[in-house]
Each structure stands twice: as structure tokens, then as C-alpha cells.
Amino acid sequence: MTPRFLLVPMAAMAETAGSFSRVRLLALSLRERDIAVATCCAHDPNYREITGIDNYPLDVPSPLGLPAWYARYMFPLAQKLGITAAKEVHSFEEVQHLTGNTDYRYLRRSVEQIRDAIRRFRPTVVYSEFNLSAYIAARAEGITIYSTASVPTEPSFATSPQYARGVNRLLREMQLPPVVSVLDLFSWAEKRFVPSCPSLEVFDNKPYTYCGALRHVDFLPKQRNAVVVYMGNGTISPKKMLREVSEAFQHSDLQVYIAGKSLQTADMNNIHTAPRFDFSQLLPQAALMIHHGGQNSMIDALLYGVPQIICPGRVFERKYNADMLARNGAGLVLPFDRFSAAEIQQLSEQIRQSSSFAQQAERLRRELLALPGLNAIS
């Protein structure tokens, strides 16, 4: 039977582009291989239309399950005041709770929306990018489940089982087996794919498929005279990021590009700011990337052989990524309470003065590109 894929990324009111960006790459890859593909994506801040690929509707969860009208007002305010950045996040189960994905009312509604998409598109495979509702909907409809996997999202890494109540209520109603942790739903997948490599994601004897980089990068190395800075929705505020990074490099021979959603487009000597930059244009000339430890940022930098300084803040997954990159000798970790111009300057000089960081970044780049990429998923 010719496969048909329905791709469902995790939805959130926050800007967390990882899940949707991976779904977009997978959708385009499947289409290029003449495999029927559709998406079931919420129109959250991360959504972008994928030309030529049908998208079935899915609601956006409300943080903590709060009323949508209230969350739409309070969540941006909490972000602006730094309340969300100050929150310690201990597990991916807690992430699912905070974003509203474990709320019973949302689960019930979103599972029915995905089941409707399944009935209309008739896929042979539902691919979940950490979307809990997709596992439940596919199981209820008897459809094969594939999914993304990562070490920090495994229940063996960290769980918060107190947040499984809404999931188990719905599972009981649907006569499906209960779970201890909502992350146990991931074990329902027939195949799981890791968008990384063994050096960065170490699993204990689990039959997962390593994809490596989800895109192939060909570039001509340029003079490495740039620093790329992106802290996402991390613990460090855009204001503090701009102040400390600018001071660290104000007398440097490096061109510094600082991206942040709330930043204005400006150029001041060697410091350049904008809400967004095309990193694919900047990374070939980057001597260093400073970021929050998101997997996409780490992998993107490695695809261009760029060593990194990671400030993971209070988020468990980013701490894991930072630790693994440092263990591999391709970067250094900067604790959030030491995010200062002096520390940034000292760490950047340490990386630039030793060729080993760039050599290890290049080693990881080759390891990522040697794996099958998106072709592993079919």
C-alpha cells in the first residue's frame, strides 16, 4: 500500500518553532518523494502555510487550560514582565501542562479534530511531533503511529506524573489503557525518529532511528568574522541580551548579529539587531553562535561547523543540549546567573583561541550529515 502521512506538531500559544519547523521539512521531503502528505496544524504563532499541502484544522491550547480570552491577554503580559522566563521547567510533561496540552477539555476537543482529519484524509501513518492528542486519536482510529524522539522528552529522563489526570480521564472514557506519565503515550509509536546523532543523543538500548540533520547544507566557508546571537523565549530577556552582548563585543573585530522578537532593526558600528535574521546567510561566516540551547539552534550551528556558547536558563531540555555539546568539546555552557559582558567575552575568547572547538563542531557536522536525514522516514 502506498503510504499516506498525516503530520501533527505540538501546538502552543508560545513561540516555540521547533515542532512546526520539523513538520514543515518532513512534509516537503515526503512530497518530493511523491508520498501523499497532509498536516493537522494549529494556527499558533509558529504556524506558516506550506504551499501545496492541505492542512486540517486544530485548535490552539490555552496555557494551563485557562479561558482563551484571558490567556490571550495574560500570556503576552507574563512574557513581557519576565514571569515565564523566571519559571523553572523540570520535565517535558510539565511543558505539556504549562502549554495547556494536558487539559482535559482541550484534549477531548483536539482528539476529535485529529480523528476528523484522519477520516477525511485517510492516512496510513499519523506522525506526531510531540502532540499528545495525535497519539490518542491515531490509537482510537487504529492507525499506525510514527513520532519524533529525544532523550529529554523520555519518561526515563524526567516526569511530572501529577499532570496526567486529564489524559487518563479521556483515556478511560475512550476505553484506552491508562498511563502513569503523559510521556508514556510516546511508547505507542511503532517507529520513533531522532533528529540528531548518537554523540548528542544517547539512548539506552532503544530501537530508535537516528536521522541526523533534517536538511542537507552545502556552503562555501567564508571568513569567520561574525557572532550570531539568539536567545528565543529563554531566561535571558531581550533587553539584557542586547546590553551584555553589545558591551562584550563593542570593541571587537567581529560583526555581531543579535536576533530577538522585540528588537528593532538597527546597525551601530559592529552590532546589528533585528527581529529575525536569515541564519543560513550568517552562519557560514560565523566564528561563534550564542543561544538558549534549543535543539534547532544547536543543530543549525553545527551544520555550519560553528562552535557555541549556550545559556540554557531554567529549562531541562536546553540544559541537556548544552551539557552534551560541551561534553563533545564543541562549545561552552554559560549559566544564566552569570550572563554578563565579562563572562561572554571571556568564553568567546576561550573558544576563538583554541582550534579544538571548531574541530569538534566540524566532527559533529560530519556525523549529522552522514545519517539518512528525512529519507529515513517513509
Digits of tens for pLDDT over the chain (378 positions)? Answer: 789 999 999 998 777 767 899 999 999 999 999 999 999 999 998 899 999 999 999 999 988 665 564 445 454 544 454 544 556 778 999 999 999 999 999 999 999 999 999 999 999 999 999 999 999 999 999 999 999 999 999 999 999 999 999 999 999 999 999 999 999 999 999 999 999 999 999 987 778 999 999 988 887 777 899 999 999 876 788 899 999 999 999 989 999 999 988 899 999 999 999 999 999 999 999 999 999 999 999 999 999 999 999 999 988 999 999 999 999 999 999 999 999 999 999 999 999 999 999 999 999 999 999 999 999 998
At 342 the three-state DSSP class reads: helix
- Rounded to the nearest 5 degrees, what angle is found at the Cα of 324, between the Cα atoms of 320 and 325? 120
28 Cβ partners below 8 Å, 6+ apart? 50, 53
What pLDDT, on a 0 to 100 scale, did the predictor assign at position 87? 61
CATH of the domain spanning 4-194: 3.40.50.2000
Q: Please state the three-class secondary structure of 29-41 as a single string.
A: HHHHCCCEEEEEC
Count of residues making up the chain? 378
Nearest to 95 by CA among 84, 104, 110: 84
Domain extents in the chain: 4-194, 226-370
At 331 the three-state DSSP class reads: strand
Instruction: Provide the whole-model pTM.
Output: 0.91
Nearest to 198 by CA among 137, 264, 151: 151
Q: Per the structure block, which three cell numbers stand in for 2?
A: 502506498
Helix (H) or strand (E) holding 281: helix 279-282
Residue type (1 letter), 267: D
At 203 the three-state DSSP class reads: coil
**Strand extents, DSSP E, 311-354:** 331-333
Q: Go through 214-245 and write b for each residue having 16 or more CB atoms within 10 A of its CB, e for each that does not.
A: beebeeeeeebebbbbbbbbbbbbbebbbebb
Task: Please say whether the beta carbons of 347 and 322 come within 8 A.
Answer: no
- Max CA pair span of the chain: 65
At the top level of CATH, the class of 226-370 is: alpha beta
Rounded to an integer, what distance in angstroms lies between the CA atom of residue 155 and that of residue 92? 9
Task: Please say whether the beta carbons of 45 and 11 come within 8 A.
Answer: no
Q: Please state the three-class secondary structure of 150-168 as a single string.
A: CHHHCCCCCCCHHHCHHHH
Question: Does the fold of domain 226-370 match that of domain 4-194?
Answer: yes
For β-strands 308-310 and 331-333, DSSP reports them as parallel
